[in-house]
Structure 1
Amino acid sequence: MKNSNYEKQISELILETICKFDERDSKERNFGTDVNIHHSEIHMIKFIKENTDLHISAIARKLGITRGAVSQTIKRLQSKGLITKEVDEGNNSKIVVRLTGKGQTAYINHENYHKQYEIRIKNILENMGAGSEKVVYDFLLEFYRKI
């Protein structure tokens, strides 16, 4: 028998959690550097690190966003000293973007930030007992599909 009170509490808790994450993601962080980095910027840094030697048009194509949006983010990252633009060794007419040392630091610290969440979730699931991973995963997957 289902407890509708739990259903309401779960619904409210999910919405509150989404709001809390949204609020947290909208704040700038420095990720171990001397500059603040927006959510969209750190994800561009991650993309550049994991997809090396791409030019702006290729980044835009792969991310499915406009070339202008990529250019604006790249300019901000360059002004913060997180990336450089360099002539493509294979094609002198193209400019590729690469992370600087500071950009590498931000990338590593961002990855560590995600790992901390993974550890928290692992600990919670372990404390919930055997089989809880599948129940939680199935629930979240179905919830995601319905959004």
Structure 2
Amino acid sequence: MERRMELFRDVIAAFDEGFDLAEKYDSMVHRYGEETLYQSEMHLLQAVGRAPGITMTEIAVNASKTKSACSQMVHKLQKRGLLTQVRNSQNNREYKLYLTDRGREIYCAHEEFDEACLKRSYTYLDNFSEQELLVYIAIQKRLNEAFKADIDENG
């Protein structure tokens, strides 16, 4: 039992290190041509690029963010000429979001960059079998359940 707990502590330490690195990466600004964007801004552009006509409410729900936070970001990106809002003809209170030509260029450049990063990361895992990757997924999903329970209990 003691050895298993020590291994578990190592798992959590590795997870924490990965989380810290991901957080550091997400907080960096990224340059796309002449545009500089934070990851959160790029994620919003991605959501619109992948689902043209999506609403702020849908983005907020999918990203677990408030509508107010999404609205502020949409207005910021709209001012920069990357997004447009079109009033929904069936619901005057709702706006559908679309990328501008400039926004689409940045979205496409980011998708290419993401794909290159994904391929690079994929090669780092060449030594692991499909079964080992499936075990990792199962472990991570179970840990996510524990993390959600922590949030529910303490949030």
Alignment TM class, shorter chain as reference = 0.7 to 0.9
Corresponding residue for residue 22 of structure 1: 23
Query: In the alignment, does 2:84 pair up with 1:84?
Result: yes
How far 1:140 moved relative to its partner? 4.3
Corresponding residue for residue 100 of structure 2: 100
Corresponding residue for residue 74 of structure 1: 74
Corresponding residue for residue 109 of structure 2: 109
Any gaps of 5 or more consecutive residues in structure 1? none
Query: In the alignment, does 2:50 pair up with 1:50?
Result: yes
TM norm structure 1 = 0.73
What is the distance in 1 between the residues matched to 2:132 and 2:95?
A: 48
Corresponding residue for residue 131 of structure 2: 134
Percent of residue pairs bearing the same amino acid type? 21
- Other structure's SS at 2:86 match: strand
2:30–2:37 CA contact under 8 A, matched in 1: yes
What is the distance in 2 between the residues matched to 1:139 and 1:72?
A: 37
How far 1:33 moved relative to its partner? 3.6
- Other structure's SS at 2:140 match: helix
What is the distance in 2 between the residues matched to 1:84 and 1:104?
A: 11
- Other structure's SS at 1:45 match: helix
- Other structure's SS at 1:97 match: strand
Write the letter of the residue equivalent to 1:67.
K
Write the letter of the residue equivalent to 1:18.
F
State the superposition RMSD in angstroms. 2.9
Q: Give CA deviations for 1:90-132 in whole Å, capped at 9, x if unaligned.
A: 4483432210112112211222222122211332333x2xx62
What is the distance in 1 between the residues matched to 2:42 and 2:91?
A: 28
Any gaps of 5 or more consecutive residues in structure 2? 148-155
Aligned pair in 2 of structure 1 residues 63, 23: CA closer, same or farther (>3 Å)? closer
Corresponding residue for residue 123 of structure 2: 123
